[in-house]
Amino acid sequence: MHATIQKPITEILRFIRPGEKVFVVGCNNCAWKCHSGGPDETKAMAERLTRRGVDVVGYTVPGPQGMSLCKLDHTRKVLQQDYAEQTRRADSFLVLGCGQGVHTVIDATDGAMVHPGCDTIFGGETVSESDIQEFCSLCGECVIEYTGGLCPMTLCSKQLLNGPCGGAEKGMCEVDPERPCGWVLIYERLRKLGRLELLDAYQPPKDHAKWSRPRRLEVSPFEATFCSQAGRVTVSNQD
Amino acid sequence: MKITKLFQRGEFVITGEVGPIKGAVSRDWRVSPSCAQEAWHLQDFVHAVNVTDNQSAVMRLGSLAASVGLKQRGIEPIFQLTCRDRNRIALQSDLLTAYSLGIDNVLLLTGDHIQLGDHKSAKPVFDLDSVQLIRMAKGLQAGHDITGHDIENPPDMALGAVVNPNFEPLDLQLLKMRKKIDAGAEFFQTQAVYDDRVVDEFVAKTEKFGRPIQLGVVMLKSPQMGAFMNRNVSGISVPRAWIDEIGSVDKADRKKKAAEMMGRFIARHKDKFQGVHIMPLGWTDVVPEILEHAGISVAAAR
């Protein structure tokens, strides 16, 4: 999931010009889980803005619970058909969702002015209803086979691939003494699994061309093509 | 001169350390930066002087410029190069530049994280880790860059690396040390150690590694500094006994006391190492005293 956190209302208010008519859009998936843009927060945002004198022409959170704002065809239908009257009057859209959702609203409205209502902070695991944690950096070249599934690009502050730096203190990271050293976590996990030999091999530098932006994925039921500065890589899911 | 030659000759290699100034070197040649003055104090007592690379992620004069400055003043530098601020292009370019400017020794490190320094909002690079950096430096020596392209006139510098004996679990740190050896590290300097048991466990586990190791020591100037290091300096822990002992004398006598304590510590352990790396933190003038307490002949260094 894409973790998001609402921007402070004071920052959002600075985005909106005097007299600007605003339509508020939330997301029924990730932003709902983050309490940054679900139905409750989207309704509340409309009210908070109205209270502060902003002309809010409407609000919605497309789809049932679990539906992502970033599913373009559905968001387009909701904004252009279901809410056509309000969205036609809107000068801009305040999006309570991740950066992908913001772009989806641009596409769904054929290029309307948008305002980000949230900061998109990371892709994470919903550990509990109140705790979302980051375990993957979306680097495009997964190395976690040899680390017992724990990502050094994410759990190590320096993204080291061949073991820890010398900075950890009693198993805690030099950057944040409250947080365990990612490499100590990897080591302890593999030790318990009896698979420490996985750490012996030299790990080459990452291919950062695969971490280039923007990237694209072309998908079909039978194969997918990952497009990045490293080129186009097609993989079958059938053979 | 490559310090690996000294190790090969069986010499006990003594190195010091200076940090480049926060600022530029004066165009007036009569004005030497403080780091050069510190290095001058050291030069009669050590074989070479490490020059730190934006140490603790605090922005300073470049380690390469300061290393070249020492070399021009007749002091053998060990150019420290970290992965924190340079991608693989800059790292290789700096290695080629270093050799081209007369540098014979490099120490290849990961680098302290940006969060420890004075530019916390900067983008951390860490394109390579220290193992990959060592392997890449070895590749340059062998005549090719990291992508396999041939290079002209390959550089020939001694490749040093670091290891932290204080790390828990130690076996994990040693796994990385082994990788550094496999990648091409020719000598090691340890992070500062104060604890006899830490030294002995480390020595027992690394004596078969077959690479020269210098014991790293940092001058403990005051009990406050010990507490500060325990709180703020990553990877170092100062035992209570050290803090109590340095605190047992008046401020005026601390320099002498610190030299004595450090000297005693080195004396206890020198036979287990191939050298010592002394980080005097500005108190460069007492390095001869430390060596005297440690029973190391000062003349040996020159």
DSSP, res B221: -
Size of interface A-B (CB pairs under 8 A): 93
**Boundaries of domain holding B74:** 3-219+270-286
CB B113 to CB A169 under 8 A?
Answer: no
**pLDDT beyond 80 at B65:** yes
Residue B232 lies in a domain: no
Chain B contact present for A169, CB below 8 A: yes
Whether the ipTM is more than 0.95: the answer is no
Break chain A into its structural domains and give their ranges. Answer: 2-122, 135-199
Over residues B140-170, the pLDDT tens digits come to 999 999 999 999 999 999 999 999 999 999 9
Other beta carbons within 10 Å of B142: 10
Is residue B97 classed exposed, middle or buried when 0-12, 13-18 and 19+ CB atoms within 10 A define those classes? middle
Q: Which of A162, A184, A187, A192 to mutate to test the interface with B (most CBs of B within 10 A)?
A: A162
**Among residues B282, B285, B279, B280, which one has the least CA distance to residue B34?**
B282
What pLDDT does residue B231 have? 85
Low-confidence ranges of chain A (pLDDT < 50): none
Can you count the helices (H) and strands (E) in chain A?
8, 10
Which pLDDT belongs to residue B297?
79
Question: Into how many domains does chain B fold?
Answer: 1
List residues of B whose CB lies inside 8 A of any A CB.
83-84, 88, 110-113, 115-116, 124, 126-132, 135, 146, 162-164, 166-169, 172-173, 175-176, 179, 182-183, 191, 234-235, 237
Residue B301 has pLDDT above 60, yes or no: no
Domain annotation covers residue B252 = no
The whole-number pLDDT of residue B302 equals: 52
Using the beta-carbon criterion (under 8 Å), do A161 and B110 form an inter-chain contact?
A: no
Measured CA to CA, the distance from residue B181 to residue B187 in angstroms comes to 9
Point out which residues pair with B51 in neighbouring strands.
B18, B79
**pLDDT above 90: percentage of residues in chain B:** 88
B233 lies in some domain: no
Q: Is the pLDDT assigned to residue B300 strictly greater than 90? A: no
Topology of the domain covering A2-122: Rossmann fold (3.40.50)
Chain A residues with beta carbon closer than 8 angstroms to that of B228: none
User: What pLDDT sits at residue B234?
Assistant: 73
Residue B183 clears pLDDT 60, i.e. is over it = yes
Does A202 touch chain B if contact means CB atoms closer than 8 Å? yes
Over residues B226-239, the mean pLDDT reads 86
pLDDT digits (tens, 9 = 90+) for B107-123: 999 999 999 999 999 99
pLDDT tens-digit profile of B96-106?
999 999 999 99
Q: What is the CATH number of the domain that holds B21?
A: 3.20.20.220
More confident position, B81 or B280: B81
Considering the domain boundaries, does residue B110 fall inside one? Answer: yes
pLDDT at B40 over 70: yes
pLDDT at B298: 63
CA dist B210 to A176, B3, B113, B213, Å?
35, 16, 30, 9
